[in-house]
Amino acid sequence: MKKALIIIIEDEEDILELVEYTLQKEGYDTIGFLNDQKLFQVLEEEDVNLIIMDRNLPSSEGAMCVKELREKGYDTPVIFLTAKDSPKDIIDGFEMGGDDYITKPFDINEFVARVKALLKRTQKNYDDNLRIRDIVYKAHAKEIYIDDRKLNLTKLELSLLLEFMKNKNILLTREYLLNTVWGYSQEKKEKSVNVAVKRLKEKIDPDKDKDYIKSIRGEGYIFG
């Protein structure tokens, strides 16, 4: 089973090291930062399961970063880990989009228990929902959105796009797509793949400036 990936944003190096060490010991993959400048870049490139966010960052307020996160459509769960401990601070943290709030100083065992509980509560949604760059698949509704714009896809186009999204940055041959999406493999039917991919490209990238699906001559396609 793939390990959950947790981003930790904490400007105190000793706390960052402690949290990373503890979570890695528990079997999680982690990426640690002293500020939030690379957060959105990592969210675009990686499948992140949880963000642990300090509110007292040198260049920004962690809660405002989470607010922006939610406004952009990211539903990655967030735990605030912060010295801001007044009732108003805690309420503000939840209203800005936090899922849990832990105040410093904190008990490391309680911290781990809260991480595990939040991941357990949210993991099913992450198993079902997909997000690659600005393309979002909402599993409960079986709908695709790009920048909050719902796409009108045929059943075949949806199945094709989901296969690409589940195999980000992996070369998928036409034969593979025929087997997995169409359910059969015949050389003469490979033209069907070409036509379907062309139509899908037109729908997800009408301006032809995103380059989601790359054609590899004589081999197949790479989505990313």
pLDDT of residue 128: 64
**DSSP letters for 197-212:** HHHHHHHH-TTS-S--
Q: Which domains does the chain have, with CATH numbers?
A: 5-128 (3.40.50.2300), 132-223 (1.10.10.10)
Residue 82: closest CA among 50, 105, 59: 105
pLDDT of residue 132: 86
pLDDT score, position 210: 83
Closest by CA position to 127, among listed 140, 146, 108, 116: 140
With beta carbons less than 8 A apart as the criterion, state whether 192 and 199 touch. Answer: no
User: How crowded is the C-beta side of 13, counted as CA atoms within 13 Å?
Assistant: 0
Residue pair 58/82 in contact by the 8 Å Cβ criterion: no
Query: 10 Å Cβ neighbour count for 193?
Result: 21
Write out the H or E segment, with its range, that includes residue 119.
Answer: helix 108-128
Q: Which two tokens stand for residue 194?
A: 């070409």
Per-residue pLDDT of the chain (224 residues; tens, 9 = 90+): 568 899 999 989 999 999 999 999 999 999 999 988 888 889 888 878 999 999 888 777 888 888 888 888 788 899 999 999 999 999 999 998 999 999 999 999 999 999 999 998 876 555 567 888 888 888 766 789 888 788 898 888 998 999 999 898 999 998 888 888 887 655 547 778 889 999 999 999 888 888 899 999 888 999 98
Give me the residue label for tokens 């949290």. 19
The pLDDT, as a whole number, for residue 30 is 96
**Which DSSP letter does residue 151 get?**
P
Q: Record the pTM.
A: 0.58
In this prediction, residue 6 carries a pLDDT of 96
pLDDT of residue 207: 83
pLDDT score at 185: 55
